[in-house]
Amino acid sequence: MKTKLVIGNKNYSSWSLRAWLLLRESGIDFEEQRIALDTPATKRALTEVSEAGRVPVLFHDGMTVWDSMAIAETVAELWPDKNLWPADRDARAHARAISAEMHAGFAVLRAEMPMNCRAMGRKIPLPDELGAEIDRIISIWTDCRHQYGDKGEWLFGDFSIADAMFAPVVLRFRTYGINLPESACVYPRRLLQSEAMQEWLLAAESETEVIDHEEIGK
């Protein structure tokens, strides 16, 4: 069975982006199935592909994996030649830690700055709680640049799972006009230059669905 990834709307689905970018940027061949979110048919369509009722979902060789972090770990195991975690033990532990932090944390940012690829120029208030989470992300990116910048422009030099996990945040900062210090700009620039990322953004622009509750900051 060919590898298949089920995703949601490219304009809105940040978790879908993480899994999709990981596969595409790594050069892994896969079939893509898109389910439009927040429609009368969405719930049934999602439960047909996974009992969890959420995207993304990965299918491979009779195996079904849901949750973007579980998908990332599974992909790393299935394609070890792609080196999706850093080879160095300490760097690998660092990459896993910030990926897990992104996966489990930043609840205020998710609520106040939903991913919306088409929403350029949106402005929202930046209360202290949101500002603290933005500062934490800037600190993570700056620290990675300081430690691994001599190896390349991704967070750990070469592309890794950590880059896929933080990709939706780059798009959030881009659309909501968050100013970054130069020390935290290298990874976002590299991501946006990626052919895979440009492919995703082009597809997001062409989508016609509008999810009202994701249109914050009009």
CATH number at residue 177: 1.20.1050.10
Whether residue 214 has pLDDT greater than 90: no
Residue 9 domain-assigned?
yes
Residue 212 domain-assigned?
no
Structural domain span for residue 173: 89-202
Let me know: does 30 contact 2? Beta carbons within 8 Å.
Answer: yes
Helix (H) or strand (E) holding 23: helix 14-25
pLDDT band, residue 217 (cuts 50/70/90): low
pLDDT band, residue 218 (cuts 50/70/90): low
Whether residue 15 has pLDDT greater than 70: yes
Q: Residues of the chain with pLDDT > 70: what percent?
A: 96
Q: Where is the domain boundary, 35, 50, 82?
A: 82
- Please give the distance of CA 109 from its chain centroid, rounded to a whole number: 14
- Please give the distance of CA 187 from its chain centroid, rounded to a whole number: 13
Does the predicted model carry a pTM greater than 0.85? yes
| Distant-in-sequence, close-in-space partners of 126: CB < 8 Å, separation ≥ 6 | 134
Q: What is the mean pLDDT of residues 151-155?
A: 97
Q: What is the mean pLDDT of residues 108-114?
A: 95
150 and 197 co-located in one domain: yes
47 and 119 co-located in one domain: no
Q: Residues of the chain with pLDDT > 90: what percent?
A: 84
CATH number at residue 21: 3.40.30.10
Whether residue 157 has pLDDT greater than 70: yes
20 phi and psi, to 5 degrees? -65, -45
Q: Where is the domain boundary, 82, 98, 119?
A: 82
Q: Where is the domain boundary, 36, 60, 82?
A: 82
14 and 38 co-located in one domain: yes
pLDDT band, residue 7 (cuts 50/70/90): very high
pLDDT band, residue 208 (cuts 50/70/90): confident
Tell which residue, 46, 91, 99, 110, has the closest CA to residue 72. 99
Question: What is the number of domains present in the chain?
Answer: 2
117 and 169 co-located in one domain: yes
Decide: helix, strand or coil at residue 60.
strand
Position 212 scores a pLDDT of: 65
Give CA–CA dist 16/2, Å, rounded.
19
Q: What is the mean pLDDT of residues 155-166?
A: 98
pLDDT band, residue 181 (cuts 50/70/90): very high
